[in-house]
Chains A and B, each alone.
Chain A
Amino acid sequence: MPVDYCRPCKTLKCLFLKIDATKEVLFRPMSKDLNLDNEEFLIEACINQDPKAQKYLFDKYASRMLGVCSRYCRNLDDARDAMQDGYVKIFSIISKFNRQSKLETWMTRVMMNTAIDHYKKESKFVLFESGEDVLKYKKDTEEDYILLAEEIEDISQEQMLKVISELPDGYRVVFNMYAIEGLSHRDISNHLGISEGTSKSQLARAKKYLRDKFLEKGLIGR
């Protein structure tokens, strides 16, 4: 049985190149002719350090990745820095991408980690509060932390991001990871090296902070 194996993308079921691997390949795509819209080709070319593919990857995802970084960083300059470092990291470890998720998802994770690492490296303060705050959090009334969906429905994206960027660093990171990236508290705790309780407390405080800020700015009613 001939193996339908595409050498450039190293997959058995390649929609673009269907080359029989058991036979010698006479015609092979040149890198300049690769269809970089195909994610597999793009990854393969980036693994090969193809500058054209790297630029393509930048052009395609850079704005989104900068948006991701901006959610984790205090200002745009930091976000740009983190995004640039993230791309350098992506280009160097893209060969380890296991293709089990979408490239964009993987890149977002890399960017998120880079932004956090970037912040950790820059920050001289302790990012997260100690576990004692968890006890304090439990004593507070839960209503203080509740945001209603109907209240923030009308808040624009820019306003929302501005408020999020004003969050204290620990709150912001946990809030982004939990609320936007969709990570569980366990994942967050593993990732950041904190307890699950701390993660929960940071999230609750972030929500309270957001609510207060929205109220302060008159974005939601009392």
Chain B
Amino acid sequence: MKRRVELKNTQREIYYFRLRLVLSLGFVLVMLFTLLARFVYLQVVKHGHYQTMAENNRISVVPIVPNRGLILDRNGVVLAHNYSGYTLEITPSKAGDLEATIDRLAQLVEIQPKHRKRFRKLLAESHNFETLPIRNRLSDEEVARFAAQSYRFTGVEIKARLFREYPYNEQTSHLIGYIGRINESDIQQLDENETAANYRGSDYIGKTGIEQSYESELHGTTGIEQVEVDTGGRGVRVLSRTPPKSGNNLVLTLDARLQEIAEQAFGNYRGALVAIDPSNGEVLAFVSRPGYDPNLFIDGIDEDSWNELNNSPDVPLNNRALRGQYPLGSTIKPFMALAGLYYNKRSPSHTISDPGYYTLPGSSHQYRDWKKGGHGSVDLFKSIVVSCDTYYYGLATELGIDNMFNFLSQFGFGKKTGIDLEGEVAGLLPSQEWKQKRYKEKWYGGDTVSAGIGQGYNLVTPMQLAFATAVLANDGVGYRPHLVRQVQHSGSNEAPVPEAKPEFTVALNPEHLALVKRAMVAVTQPGGTAAQAGAGAPYAFAGKTGTAQVVAMKQGEKYDASLLSERNRDHAWFIAFAPADKPKIALAVLAENGGHGGSTAAPIARKVLDYYLLGKVPKPLPTVNAAEETEDD
């Protein structure tokens, strides 16, 4: 009985279900019929209209690429600009036999093997219907010659275009960076930021440096022109036009002349220099040597130049100032001294007796001072002036790594400075926790000893060390370092300089600061480690030398530069700020394999300070290196 009822129910249910299914089918048919009607409307009724739009009188939306913003230094010197020129471009899909076409073109304009190579590379990366440049920067004569013969070439045309140029070449390469042709991964990036529409028609995008970091400011807004186009793709008339908006000009904090002088001061040394105005974080000079010619990259670098740059042992493509990580050596000492005073582990008058080495309690291992036999009786002031290692071995042990970490990280060690360039690295300020994580090993007393003189695990970038120096120079008040001073919006000439706001303040006792600063001034005076470089400076020149080991010395072995190959010699550091009582500039210099900070890095700093504070231009060629002439070709 019960079963029969259920059966009946099910049948009724199925009946209703099928009814609804039939209704659904009806719905589907109606909707598909609607689509069909739409197709008939588009493809039969309005076919003529769309046919015309597609074939004869295609209204095409033509993007008008905006002019890229200029990059200027703080005094208005142009560091990146655009100039108009002619380029010979091929549309592969229209040109037919490409090799034959290029061969025939070669009879009219100069086409070198490297141009062909680059064209093939672009072809491999491109879509079929793009036009690709075979030659840039045609001379007027070449333009005229091709124009007369252009009827012989289908799919080849001369285009007037704006080219980017970096007049300072190598000198600003790591800072300004370069633009290059938009590639597959750039397109993905643009899609993700939903900015692809604004890049319709653009061929270039910032790849490194300021050009990359400030791409959104520099690019501008693409304009639109609705054009009636005939079958051949030639514009017949303009229907409407929304003009493009040029990219914004960037005024940098950089002083181009200072940059140039800093570059030259390096002579043949590889290395980096960053100079900052401590009162507001403006970066005045940003050098990484060697540089490269950024102009080579704009239209795709040719293979030979690329291999040369990429395989050079000098790694010119490496941005040392931003991404080079080195032990900071004795330049840590002023900061360590402040830590010792802060934690009450040292008083200004506390004196140690330096036998030339330090041993941990209960150990025989000798941590040697750089000076054999030691510095005798040393107080805090003297420990900075003569760069006494023994003093800081003991101080580090008493402070302990935790205090060191906490204190030093306030100055930005182990952290990115937040400069407005992409790709900055954080360096390394070691801590117990870090070592446990990285090496699965506990922190040893010996680790603290070497950390006390900036060796061991410590790593800094020149950018970081310059920043830390600026914070010290500015009495603990830190401003975020930045390279762009003003953004000049297109159309308006003046842009306010945004007022710098301090990012943080390190709590320091003014007396402690005054003592350490006085000691740093004494570094550049007779008896100090940079006395030679400081000789005759008419301003209060505060500095500290440092040496970063490249090869570790064995116990009892003596460092002798002459015995080591050039690449294994120590890196030379120098940090400085001046005038010491009211600093206008703070900097860090690194000379790779330069040996002593006092003899190689400090003179570079002196030249930079002399120019910046006194307007003094060094004599044409410093005597550091005789091979300088090769730089100027």
A and B assemble together = no
